[in-house]
Amino acid sequence: MHGRANLAGPEGPWTSIWGYDGTVPGPILRIQQGRPVRIAVENGLDEDTTVHWHGIRLLNAMDGVPGLTQPPIKPGESFVYEFTPPDAGTFWYHPHAGSLVQMGRGLAGPLIVEEAEPVAVDRDLLWMLQDWRLSGDKQIAGGFGSTMDAAMSGRVGNEVTINGSAPTNQPVRAGERVRLRLVNASLARIMALRFEGHRPVIVAIDGQPCDPHEPEDGRLVLAPAMRIDVAIDMQGDPGSRHDVMDDVYDGLAYPLTPLAYDRAPPLRANPLDAPLALPRNPLPEPDRARTIRWEIVLQGGMTGGGKLAGVGGMMGMGMPGMNGGAAWAINGMSMTGDGHAGMAPQFALERGATCHLIIRNETAWWHPMHVHGFSLSVLSRNGAPVPHRQWQDTVLLAPKDIVECAFVADNPGDWMLHCHVIDHQMAGLMTVFRVT
């Protein structure tokens, strides 16, 4: 439904948005691991929609891809999603119909699946990060699906919000341990966050616990659709301020928000004496000795010469890329839009098989590749083993990267695999695989 949000800060005008229950972000949904949930979605828009429960391993019929897993929800109609989340962690929800416009106007919300036993922290915080392209009057700019956005870096905006508001002081107390859940719900903006004066420890990626570790170079790299949970012991002085910087783009670093310590005495003199590791989720372990290998190659996009790199045949509907055609391809095939009937699977797996998936980025652009219905054990990047037992549903590939992953095909159905730079997805960078 339609609503308003204060995206430009307390001094700016209100911005018209589309939001779940009229808010940006949508309501925080807190559910319990292993307990059934029933969510009724009523479409108050003037166009079709669906809801995709991003990162949740659920039945194919509940995945929210129009035409592929369910009929679209027509204006004025409703659909009931029912699933039992097997994994605790940080997830989110968003449309998978008209997704470029609908997400770009605000439709997204956080989904937290709580552990059976409370985690030993003093506070559990959520930062839902969204990037907006606003016009001079602070309204959401038009021009969705432009040629340049489709074939290059996507629709990067000019305003970033935390939980639907322009960032202001983030209050903290000396001596406390915070679990901070970071969700990047942007259409295209990649972030690399530095917590000045602090040492965040990564405890989960994309909802899946990992070996606790400090980020490489102190930067938390968060691509669109990714989530990272960090534990931070607040060791600053009472009354001090410490910037959280975003410096992913060369020469364009900016302070996202400050951590502002109150003047209360420290909660404790030393960091909390409790383990950082989160309980593991019941992910099926790939059988590395018996795998089926598949390779997908990402192609296309604008090259330095202003031309598209080898895009093959186009299949689909919805929003086109370059010159009325596709801008991207996977293994020479472009599927455009949000998902639809007739999408031929790129490969098929028998239920229970272990898939060794190789993703090769032959383009000059970054791509966060998202798999529906599964979590991937990330094995290697450019031939180097990936440490810390990382499982992800959204894997970021830099230009020319080669990433190897593995997963057990235990969930039958037709599943999407696509870039979560939404312009790229809409312009051809998506495919389908089948589990029988």
What is the C-alpha separation between 291 and 8, in angstroms, rounded? 50
Report percent pLDDT > 70 for the chain: 95
d(CA 63, CA 432): 13
For all residues of the chain together, what is the average pLDDT?
Answer: 93
What does the pLDDT read at residue 318?
38
Q: Which two tokens stand for residue 435?
A: 């589990």
pLDDT at 325: 58
From CA 59, how far away is CA 354, in angstroms rounded? 19
Each residue's pLDDT tens digit, 257-282: 999 999 999 999 999 999 999 999 99
Residues 50-84: pLDDT tens digits? 999 999 999 999 999 999 999 999 999 999 999 99
Q: What is the pLDDT of residue 2?
A: 83
Task: Give residue limits of the domains in the chain.
Answer: 2-114, 123-261, 291-435
Domains 2-114 and 123-261 share a fold: yes
Mean pLDDT in residue range 7-14: 84
Torsion of CA 366, 125, 30, 21, to 10 degrees: -80
pLDDT for res 208 = 98
**What's the pLDDT at 322?**
39
Residues 113-129 have pLDDT tens digits of 999 988 999 999 999 99
Q: What is the pLDDT of residue 9?
A: 79
Summarised one tens digit per residue, pLDDT across range 210-253 is 999 999 999 999 999 999 999 999 999 999 999 999 998 778 89
pLDDT for 307 equals: 47
Q: What pLDDT does 6 receive?
A: 86
What's residue 321's pLDDT?
44
Query: What is residue 426's predicted lDDT score, i.e. its pLDDT?
Result: 95
CATH number for region 2-114: 2.60.40.420
pLDDT of 380: 98
**What class has domain 291-435?**
mainly beta
**pLDDT in the model for residue 154:** 96
Q: What is the pLDDT of residues 149-189, one digit of tens each?
A: 999 999 999 999 999 999 999 999 999 999 999 999 999 99
* Band of residue 309 on the pLDDT scale cut at 50, 70, 90: low
Res 288: pLDDT: 83
CATH architecture, domain 123-261: Sandwich (2.60)
Residue 276 to residue 40: CA distance in whole angstroms? 36
pTM, two decimals, is 0.94
Tens digits of per-residue pLDDT, 336-363?
Answer: 888 877 888 999 999 999 999 999 999 9
**pLDDT value at 323 more than 60:** no
Q: Which has the minimum average pLDDT: 12-16, 20-24, 58-62, 178-182?
A: 12-16
